[in-house]
Amino acid sequence: MVARNRGVVGSPRLTPAHPGRFSGDDCGQIGDHKHRAPAYAWVVKRYHLRTYGCQMNEHDSERIAGLLEADGYEATESVDQADVVVLNTCCIRENADNKLYGALGNLKVNKEGNPDLQIVVAGCLAQKDRDLIQRRAGHVDVVFGTHNVHRATELLAQARADGPITEIWEEAMTGEAEAFPSALPAKRETDYAAWLTIQIGCDNSCAFCIVPSVRGVEISRPFEDIVAEARQLADQGVAEITLLGQNVNSYGRDLALAARRSGEEVRVRPMFARLLEEVASIDGLRRVRFTSPHPKDMTPDVFETMARCDAAVDHLHFPLQSGSDRILAAMHRGYTGARYLEKLAEARRTIDDVAVTTDIIVGFPGETEDDFAATLEVAAEAAFDSAYTFVFSPREGTEAARMADHFCDPDEVKDRYARLRTVIERSALAKYRARIGRVEEVVVEGPSKKDPTVLTGRTAHNKLVHFASEPLKPGTFATTRVTDAAHQYLLGELVEVTAKPRHRTRIPVASVPS
């Protein structure tokens, strides 16, 4: 008999070591009527998981991996060894479709060689394309979207029994804890750092963004649940948490509105500053980050909390998108270039030595040279530490995708992009060089990919520091003196170790015969 969780399919199973025959090694001599159970051998199922896109997808992938491992699967880097291949997709960029269907084309060969292989497509592109995926790639077994991640193993079992299945939920089930990825089991890539979902969905209507269509309306996770999980993570040895949401600084507005509708006398306003302070005060947490905020919803109390709480890092990701008031209005961003700079100045007045990063789109439909010049002007005045810069790509289902008559000339966009990168890299290099001579605390991420005698650490500003050192475990905190800088990294020398990792090594648990 095999011990297994009731109602769970796909756990590691035990099978006879020599199925189909008996031997003296397997059972007692029949003539002596001495019988014992046959010997058993493990048959372990393996999964291969690929993640495309943003932090939300990375966090969803941690939960999918956690569900699979709770169901008895083991991870493998090899597609050829996998029983299940999961592609967790993104649909933000124009070539996302090409990446997915190219990968599915390659996996068709694996499926032909191993008909028992199950192929799963999850995430935002699955939410958007739905039945189209299995129409274009009939060898896909399971398609599920962003609202039913918690159903991953159930859908695999259903597909094994009944054949290919597509299950897309139109919205999250607000009454179920499983609506939030953080409520599910997880297998994290690092033991010392963790994502923590505080909200799902988005109520904004940015013209270029597909997120509201594939992630749904904004739903805040209960305050107490977030804090409880943060404490649990700290107890497990996690030293750094990133609070995750599409628009984190509007967190809690829907909770307050629901409380007012139920008769409570509450002020309807975001609760993010209070949440940030509560999480940052938890013993054992050395760093608390958040991503991403929206400039129109940023309030002074968030800056004040960042300045006041030691664990709240002095790094603000503050998406600009464009510096042109006309383009910002067409994007429905809810602020002007001047208003953005005012809030940025307020952040720098309030938070000592704050690092600021951003997102900027080049070539939004209708962007003129004057519009782009305004973006260059705002970017230069903002003096960002770094920026994620993108060429506009239309996403089906967004307002901007319907502006084809106003799409910009690709050659002009290419030229503008290069000019923007010059401005960004100039300010980034100045910001990085300003760190030379300073002592910066880093969390060790591991050895450099180019030189194993050099370690890579990350500062509170989210800057990488490469420094020579004896091996140190990932999650170790150490101080380094910065000796040189480029526009994407710092060089330094080790000063001292300030804290050793507290996380415990995880030991896999599997079912055993009884």
Query: 233-263: per-residue pLDDT in tens?
Result: 999 999 999 999 989 999 999 998 888 888 8
- The answer on pLDDT for 188 being more than 90 is no
Domain of 360: which CATH number?
A: 3.30.750.200
Residue 93, classified by CB atoms within 10 Å of its CB into exposed (0-12), middle (13-18) or buried (19+), is middle
Q: Which amino acid is at 188?
A: R
Nearest CA among 200, 187, 296, 190 for reference residue 249: 296
Same domain as 391, residue 480: no
- Return the residue matching tokens 């594939």: 214
Inside any domain, residue 34? yes
> Which residues, in sequence order, are CB contacts of 90 under 8 Å at separation 6+?
52, 53, 54, 57, 96, 123, 124, 125
Domain of 118: which CATH number?
A: 3.40.50.12160
pLDDT value of position 367:
98
Q: Rounded to whole angstroms, how far apart are CA atoms 10 and 271? A: 41
Are the C-beta atoms of residues 147 and 28 closer than 8 Å to each other? no
Q: Rounded to whole angstroms, how far apart are CA atoms 159 and 154? A: 9
Domain count, the chain: 5
From 311, 328, 349, give the residue that closes a domain: 311
Inside any domain, residue 330? yes
Q: How far is CA 18 from CA 15, 31, 42, 308, in A?
A: 8, 21, 12, 66
Domain of 443: which CATH number?
A: 2.40.50.140
Residue 332, classified by CB atoms within 10 Å of its CB into exposed (0-12), middle (13-18) or buried (19+), is middle
* 466: confidence class by pLDDT, cuts 50, 70, 90: very high
Q: Could you report the per-residue pLDDT of 383-431, keeping only the tens digit for each?
A: 999 999 999 999 888 999 999 999 999 999 999 999 999 999 999 999 9
Q: Rounded to whole angstroms, how far apart are CA atoms 486 and 489? A: 5
Domain boundaries, position 293: 190-311
Inside any domain, residue 406? yes
Q: Which DSSP string corresponds to 278-341?
A: HHHTSTT--EEEEE---GGG--HHHHHHHHH-TTB-SEEE---B-S-HHHHHHHT-S--HHHHH
pLDDT value of position 93:
66
Same domain as 23, residue 70: no
Inside any domain, residue 482? yes
Same domain as 336, residue 324: yes
Q: Could you report the per-residue pLDDT of 100-125, keeping only the tens digit for each?
A: 889 999 999 999 999 999 999 998 88
Q: Is the pTM of this model over 0.85?
A: no
Same domain as 419, residue 380: yes
Same domain as 415, residue 318: yes
Q: Rounded to whole angstroms, how far apart are CA atoms 461 and 466? A: 15
* 22: confidence class by pLDDT, cuts 50, 70, 90: very low
Inside any domain, residue 173? no
